[in-house]
Structure 1
Amino acid sequence: MFELTGKISLVTGAGRGIGHSIAMALAEAGSHLVLCSRSRDELESVAQEVRALGVKALVAPCDVTDAGQVQAAVDAAISEFGAIDVLINNAGMTIKKPAEEVPLDEWQKVIDVNLTGVFLMAQAVGRQMLKQGHGSIINISSIAAKTAITGSLAYCASKGGVDMVTKGLAVEWAERGVRVNGLAPAYTETPLVKAITDAKADFADRVKARTPMNRMARPEEMVGAAIFLASDASSYITGETIMVDGGWTANGF
């Protein structure tokens, strides 16, 4: 049920953090990889790791906010492999500022990367999946789509939008064989979160105290849900977002 041998998976934000962990897990499950992010050097390093597992890797640098670059990455994937079976829409960013201090350009950048980027990549890959008659899209959401995070209004708004993009695409494409689901982590030990914890000495302690499991997630803990949603094990699931949050959203405290 979890078989991915010979499948083609495209992962955005694949150079580090959650994207890197999911990319490696897909490779271990037998999938070939199309690796996307803005940093070619990071992608080349990941590609070496992937190839060491005996599967193929295509490096396709891409800014997900640029529709032309998105389409070029998808075209490269089709040229190389002839299909795309799985999309992990992972690229993302945040800013931490009080809402009243957020400049419009910073708000727009977060929305562009986290929401518009998800739409552009899902649309471009979705066209190919619709031609194929099958595919699984997994959009990386966040606890911030369900609960307000202080100082992260743009991020919360963008991830709430991601959840609705997930539902909307799932409903539109269900009859044509394309499933669209989400995966929503809580605070995870990634470079993005490290930048926040480095800037705020008590931040990690406050996050742990708010989380029933009393710790942050590790990037590799997102892997199980991703493989489940990518594979036929979830063949009758679409339009759902799985919370991988250590109990954060269940906690009424």
Structure 2
Amino acid sequence: MKLFDLSGKVALVTGGTHGLGMAIAKGLAESGAELVITDIFQDKLEQSIEKYKNEGYKATPYLFDVTDENEAEEYVNKILEAHGKIDILVNNAGIIKREMAVDMKVADFRKVIDVDLVGPFIMSKLVATDMIKRKSGKIINMCSMMSELGRDNVSAYAAAKGGLKMLTRNLATEWARHNIQVNGIGPGYFATSQTEPIRKDGHPFNEFIISRTPTARWGDPEDLQGAAIFLASEASKFVNGQVVYVDGGILATIGKPANE
């Protein structure tokens, strides 16, 4: 359908070298978008670009740190010069530090906030400058269920993702008049290489997630592609400031009764 066609669009996906970011990037490319992939690790970039190209997608790598405003500005300008425009920005780059709040160093807390919240602000600000001139643009922030809920060991991550939800709403408010839509995706628990150790049968956390999720399974990274394509396409041209939670229904329920 033309509503979901991304042919001729340039999609910049930060941290799109693996996991959920790569799955989203592939979904956008499958709908016709040309990919621009960033990361701070050269080896990850090279490996991911090879994967994209082997699957027939057009993807170009750029090595820079989204938390460095000067460096990010330099490379966004290079991307605009090389590709002519950036139609879609997916702020996917992120980190997590699992540690109880009383034990967490302030420097570690600040690092998570810097990558997960300040980075998206820097990239959105830089990319929106050109989008405003062209009166067109899509920005997708990778939020989280921790944008809504708290949990042990992730105070910095939850603070950043809660802030990212509100940043999404505020940027949508400021830039809607320029035909720019700023929305978020909030993933639930997904089967990735990072979660593999805790997804084994018998692992307490695996049992918890399966019992807590109405669909009774971990998400497949490809489950995020539909939401990403929707938010990146003309199909969502009057959707702004929203977070689409792709969580198998976790946020919709208080959980199963203890005797069930």
TM-score under structure 2 normalisation? 0.91
Q: Give the Cα–Cα distance (whole angstroms) in 1 for the partners of residues 80 and 227 of structure 2.
A: 26
Aligned-partner residue type, residue 21 of structure 1: A
The one of 8, 11, 14 equivalent to 2:10 is 8
Q: What is the CA distance between 1:3 and its match in structure 2?
A: 0.6
Measured in 1, the distance between the counterparts of 2:31 and 2:48 equals 16
1:133-162, Cα deviation, whole Å (9 max, x unpaired)? 100000000000111122111111100000
| Equivalent runs, 1:60-79 vs 2, <5 Å | 60-79=62-81
Q: 1:98 to 1:250 in 2, by over 3 A?
A: same
Give 2:26's aligned residue.
24
Of 139-148 and 41-50, more deviation after overlay is shown by 41-50
Residue 227 of structure 2 is aligned to residue 225 of structure 1: yes
The answer to whether the 8 A contact 1:110-1:158 is kept is yes
Does structure 1 residue 239 correspond to structure 2 residue 210?
Answer: no
- Give the gaps of 5 or more residues in structure 2: 256-260
CA RMSD of aligned residues (A): 1.8
Amino acid at match of 1:123: K
SS across alignment from 2:252: coil
Which residue identity lines up with residue 96 of structure 1 in the other structure? R
Q: CA deviation at 1:63?
A: 1.4
Residue pairs, 1:1-253, within 5 angstroms = 1-52=3-54, 54-194=56-196, 201-253=203-255
Q: C-alpha distance in 2, partners of 1:93/1:216?
A: 20
Q: For 1:249, what is the secondary structure of its paired residue?
A: helix
Query: Once the two structures are superposed, what CA deviation does each residue of 1:158-194 show, in whole Å capped at 9, x if it has no partner?
Result: 0000001100000000001111000000111234434
**In structure 1, how many angstroms separate the alpha carbons of the residues matched to 2:146 and 2:184?**
13
Q: How far has the Cα of 1:218 moved from its partner?
A: 1.5
Q: Which whole-Å CA distance do the structure 1 matches of 2:10 and 2:204 have between them?
A: 42
TM-score by length of 1: 0.94
Q: Relative to structure 1, is the Cα distance of residues 213 and 55 closer, same or farther in structure 2, using a 3 angstrom cutoff?
A: closer
Aligned residue for 2:12, secondary structure, equals strand
CA distance in 2, matches of 1:213, 1:66: 40
45-54 or 146-155, larger mean C-alpha shift? 45-54
CA distance in structure 1 between the partners assigned to 2:213 and 2:49 by the alignment: 34
Shift in Å at residue 51 of structure 1? 3.3
In 1, distance between residues paired with 2:128 and 2:81?
A: 16
User: Aligned to 1:175, what secondary structure does the other structure show?
Assistant: helix
- 1:32-74, Cα deviation, whole Å (9 max, x unpaired): 1110111222222322333345553221112121112221221
- In the alignment, structure 1 segments of 5+ residues that lack a partner are none
Residue identity (%): 39
CA distance in 2, matches of 1:192, 1:68: 31
Q: How far apart are residue 91 of structure 1 and its match?
A: 0.7
Looking at structure 2, the residues matched to 131 and 60 of structure 1 have their Cα atoms a distance apart, in angstroms, of: 24
